[in-house]
Chain A
Amino acid sequence: MKPAPFAYERPETIEEALAVLAVHGDEAKVLAGGQSLVPMLNMRLLRPSVVVDVNRVPGLDGLRADNGEIRVGALVRQAAFGGSRLVRERLPLAASCVPYVGHFVTRNRGTVGGSIAHADVSAELPLALLVQGGSAVVASTRGRREIPAEELFLTHFTTALAPDELLVETVWPASEPETRTAWVELAQRRGDYALAMVACTLRVEGGLVAEARIGLGSVVDRPSLVPEAAEALVRRGVDAAPEAAVLAARSVEPYDNLHASARYQRHLVRVLVERAVRQAWA
């Protein structure tokens, strides 16, 4: 399987990159890590006229703390993100999901920004960004804007980015020290797209759940929070885990797919949410 022909641009600055996107719009595809894009090019599922390789654009691979937030350049590789001490200490939920992201070799090349922009509902990083309450900074020749995660992911493989916009950075609010997290997913093989995916954070104050966030991936059409489940935990603590789990299961409308029936997916949500809450609490 070989790609269809395309023109190749390799901008050396952000301005050049944005200019190319402004000219070509949705005829162009941004190439960052390539772990998602190139298979689609090889299978000819995508045939962009222009491939814009942004790997040489400087300034997009920084990872730093800034005033209670962690700013992650779009080109930070998944391996670097997972291995970063800053991430492990301040974004424990995100750190815990990285081992599930693809495989050792693909994480060397795949980027945080690329995964977010690709918006595969079975991918870990978009869900992690959502649950963490983060946002994406996108740039175009028209300027920059910051899109909160709740508004970023629209549906399968679709974000709120306009065709001429480039995701340049993601912003992750650092977790409070008393935050407990858990990442639970079930896949048939290690590293596969999960059949169901749950991310849970609990902010604990005085032995009580002061704040909770529960997010779901895979069984939905975009990464989704389940606020009613979170509220149950805040109201009644971890004992409400089964109730929260039922609320989460009822919030999704999966389709039968090749690997799992709709009712199995719904059931998994229930099982995995309960496991995630208990795991986070422990």
Chain B
Amino acid sequence: MGVATERKTWVGQALPRLEDAALLRGEGRFLDDLDPVKNAGHAAILRSQLAHARITRLDPSAALEHPGVIGVLTGEDVAAMSRPFPVGVEAAPPYRAAAHEVARYAGEPLAVVVAKDRYVAEDALELIEVEYGPLDPVMDADAGAVVSDRSFRYGDPEAALARADLVVRERFRSPRWSCTPVECYAVVADWNAAAGSLTAWANFQGPFTLHSVAAGALGLTGSKLRLITPPDSGGSFGIKATVYVYVVLMGLASRKLGVPVRWIEDRLEHLLGSSAATERLTEVEAGFSADGELLALRYDVVEDVGAYIRAPEPATLYRMHGSLSGAYRVRNVATRNRVVLTNRCPTGLNRGFGGPQLYFALERTLAIAAGRLGVDPAELARRNLVRARDFPYRTPSGGLYDSGDYEACLDRALELARYEERRREQADARAEGRLVGIGLACIVEPSISNMGYITLAQTSAERMQALPKSGNAEAATVAINALGGITVQVGTTPQGQGHATVAAQVAADALGVDPGVIEVVTALDTSTSAWTVASGNYSSRFSGVGAGAVHKAATRLAAKLRAIAAAELGCTADEVDLHDGKAHANGGNVSLRRLAGVAHWNPDALPPGIEPGLHETAFDAAPNLAPPDEDDRVASSAAHGFIVDVAVVEVDRETGQVAVLDYVTVHDAGTLLNPLIVDGQVRGGFAHGAAAALFERIVYDQDGNLLTGSFVDYLCPTAPDLPAVTIGHLSTPSPFTTLGAKGLGEGNTMSAPAVLANAVADALGIEGVEIPLTPARVWELLANGGTHGSPVGPLLPEDKAP
């Protein structure tokens, strides 16, 4: 194709972002900055004060009389006007956008007041009379009602455990926490009575399977729910997947009251009633041979999804299914997955999405095993890592790891971390009585989720009865208008990941132009954009299928341009090369603008077989993502990156404070489309992972009240609180994605909690550590005894018993 010249591609360059100028000037267009429809009323939500109660009375009459109030939507209205949200598991209480007779978590919506502004709406909220009949709340995952219980078995774990020389059997807890984006949920809903349709704007991040769920609840066919995302979104990290519930709630309010309704969530609401990562209790049974070979893994998982199973749950539990064996060659794996309900806010996507929970259990197990075997943890990992020659590697549970060189990654991480030297320093420090620890983790980071993995929540027989689910495809459109202006649209709804810049780089390479001339639209309108049920920004899918779709569409368009140029230049299409904004051949050239002119203004002159217009839509489908098979195996993700992290910490014996002296992370994410953006995503993923490891936990009391209800008590780290991180890269391109890129950005959220827990456990010489590793919690571990030498300085006698 075209003249072969050595030309630098835009893909792979650390191009500063096209998105920045507007955002830096304060000209971003986040949903609350926009007024997409006039005369919207402003909504405030009445939320349950109790975690579990019958709503015996709800009387809005005083609120309705309040000046400035347009109307009230009650839970009773919601029950009458909507169906329960469809969900992948049957045996659970029906879930609607507001509670009617029973409230099941503190913060559950009971009613919506719509008024002329938010101030008045909040005034009116206080006038609604509510009576509760308290019921006992269940606040412990161990005591939660079991609504799904599925077991999976691959190979022969029982036999392998029986012959193991060492069996590690431990229980781990990953607590509930949230990525808390700085921008909260926002919805503007406009019911069109004549058309029986809803147009809703929301800072929704996908997956667009949830569009169907919302439409189902509203009793609408998909085309009657027009969902539009704004140009900018202030972070999501998974949390804004479940804003669809509020799209339904505000849609119903708009329908009942006959006005558009605008709802801008505030921070207290966000912490109380938006979403969170699941709390997971994992019992691991791991069998090892004496020389450290991991022979079998058995998991027993209790996954707390909150008060209701809210779609897409129990996806958190199944997202990692293909990676149950992690980075290791073990062939005998089993898991029992129980989904339980407690009286807390329903859960959903949160950065890492199942990975932090899985790897905390798995990587802590490996570290504990290393200790008991008397083997260095890096060596134990090395003995078990999937080998470079084994790729593509099929895991026992059906995962297909595309490419990797795990051992090279481990070597690089150990080198960057100066591991040997650090171990020597640690020995010296210990001799002085200082608590220095080193922790490590090896993480397979999956990306581009198989939309079928969720059906593992059903049995194979049940799956036979229904339409199978599979795959992950994205759509992109590349168009050139009559003046030669290039527009790219892609359905990946970013919230800061730089999709517009990377899409421009990809399209620029195909079309031979500068990325700066390309307009990229990442806002999505389900009525007018090209999209799929898989569209959205989750499971780090953009660099795989998002960029892939842009590449395909742009490549098709380029082929068309070459065909038109060939006619202009008197050569064959193959001889035409696109670069510098022109089509070149035969010593001559013609500008893209002219080619566009031909296509638009003079379609009669087009070569035979070439349609008028310059507008290509392409779908990129990730390969190998078949539905789960009858043995419950599934390739749950299309691409797999790999990360090795090494951390060095010192614990203050007197206060329990954890100082992270060094943190190294080496990444293999295949082909890097924009290294500047890549490092930004790695840093962000690490910041969230370190936050979960050291600071953040959502806490309820035994009565079900949320104790971490504001930013005064839910502590997110700021600049002085986070350790520096050293980033290294390795690259084994994916053979499965269009550009060889693997997704990234979630990996360190998956690894950091395990790595830092491993380091603190190593420092204290104990096996039982729990996150978050706050000073108070670490000190309690010290005070309860068990460390190298004596614990924390002598306790007062009255403080010895916990």
Contact = CB atoms under 8 A, between A and B. Distances in A.
Query: Do A and B touch directly, given a CB cutoff of 8 Å in the complex?
Result: yes
Contact of B776 (A192, A264, A270): A264
A4 interface: yes
Interface residues of A, number: 29
B718 A189 contact: yes
Contacts of A3: 119
B713 interface: yes
> Among B654, B713, B798, which residue has the most Cβ atoms of chain A within 10 A?
B654
A188 B266 contact: no
A5 B78 CA distance: 30
A142 interface: no
Contacts, number: 73
B715 A1 contact: no
Most buried by A among B707, B720, B721, B776: B776
Nearest to B792: A267
Contacts of B720: 189-190
Contact of A1 (B266, B718, B780, B783): B266
B782 to A, nearest CB: 10
Contacts of A186: 655, 657, 775
Given A1-B122, A188-B695, A189-B695, A264 B796 contact: no
Nearest to A268: B655
B664 to A, nearest CB: 24
B779 interface: yes
B455 to A, nearest CB: 40
A21 B63 CA distance: 32
Contacts of A266: 796, 799
Given A2-B118, A195-B775, A189 B721 contact: yes
Contacts of A5: 123
B726 interface: no
B162 interface: no
A260 B774 CA distance: 9
Given A43-B710, A258-B707, A264-B779, A188 B267 contact: no
Contacts of B779: 264, 267
A250 B796 contact: yes
A147 interface: no
B796 A259 contact: no
B784 to A, nearest CB: 11
Interface string A1-24: 111110000000000000000000
Contacts of A270: 796
Interface in B699-721: 699, 707-708, 710, 712-713, 715, 717-718, 720-721
B796 A190 contact: no
B775 A190 contact: no
Nearest to A186: B655
A270 B126 CA distance: 46
B268 interface: yes
A266 to B, nearest CB: 6
B80 interface: no
Contacts of A267: 779, 783, 792, 795-796, 799
A279 interface: no
A35 to B, nearest CB: 12
Given A188-B774, A267-B795, A258 B718 contact: no
Contact of A189 (B268, B707, B717, B795): B717
B698 to A, nearest CB: 11
Interface string B68-103: 000000000000000000000000000000000000
B461 to A, nearest CB: 47
Contact of A271 (B266, B776, B793): B793
A258 B708 contact: yes
Nearest to B708: A258
Interface in A232-271: 246, 249-250, 258-261, 263-264, 266-268, 270-271
Interface in B637-687: 654-657
Contacts of B657: 186
Interface in A185-200: 186, 188-193, 195
B68 to A, nearest CB: 11
Contacts of A195: 775-776
B123 to A, nearest CB: 7
Nearest to B719: A190
A263 B783 contact: yes
Contacts of B118: 2
A208 B780 CA distance: 37
Interface size range of chain B in the complex: 35 or more
Nearest to A246: B796
B802 interface: yes
A165 to B, nearest CB: 28
Contacts of B774: 188, 259
Contacts of B713: 258-259
Contacts of B655: 186, 268, 271
A249 B797 CA distance: 12
Contact of A192 (B122, B656, B715, B799): B715
Contacts of B119: 2-3
A84 B504 CA distance: 53
B791 to A, nearest CB: 11
Contact of A188 (B708, B775, B795): B775
Interface in B716-737: 717-718, 720-721
Contact of B802 (A2, A260, A263): A263
A193 B710 CA distance: 14
A271 B654 contact: yes
Interface in B256-281: 266-268
> Which of A3, A192, A263 has the largest count of B CB atoms less than 10 A from its CB?
A263
B715 A4 contact: no
Contacts of A4: 122-123, 126
A190 B722 CA distance: 11
A43 B268 contact: yes
Nearest to B721: A189
Contacts of A271: 654-655, 793
Nearest to B717: A189
B654 A261 contact: no
A261 B776 contact: yes
B793 A189 contact: no
Nearest to B653: A271
B654 to A, nearest CB: 5
Contacts of A43: 268, 710
Contacts of B775: 186, 188, 195
A116 B237 CA distance: 40
B494 to A, nearest CB: 29
A1 B267 contact: yes
A110 B713 CA distance: 21
Contacts of A263: 783, 795, 798-799, 802
Interface string A193-218: 10100000000000000000000000
Contacts of A268: 655
Given A1-B122, A261-B776, A188 B799 contact: no
A189 B654 CA distance: 18
Contacts of A258: 699, 707-708, 713
A4 B715 CA distance: 27
A246 B126 CA distance: 49
Nearest to B269: A1
A270 B783 CA distance: 14
Contacts of A44: 122
Contacts of A249: 796
B122 A260 contact: no
A200 B474 CA distance: 63
Interface string B329-368: 0000000000000000000000000000000000000000
Given A1-B122, A1-B266, 14 more contacts: A3-B119, A43-B710, A186-B655, A189-B720, A190-B720, A191-B718, A195-B775, A249-B796, A258-B707, A259-B776, A261-B776, A264-B776, A271-B655, A271-B793
13 contacts: A1-B267, A4-B122, A189-B718, A193-B712, A258-B713, A259-B776, A261-B802, A263-B783, A263-B802, A264-B779, A267-B795, A267-B799, A270-B796
Those 3 A-B pairs whose CB atoms lie nearest each other, nearest first: A263-B799, A190-B720, A260-B776
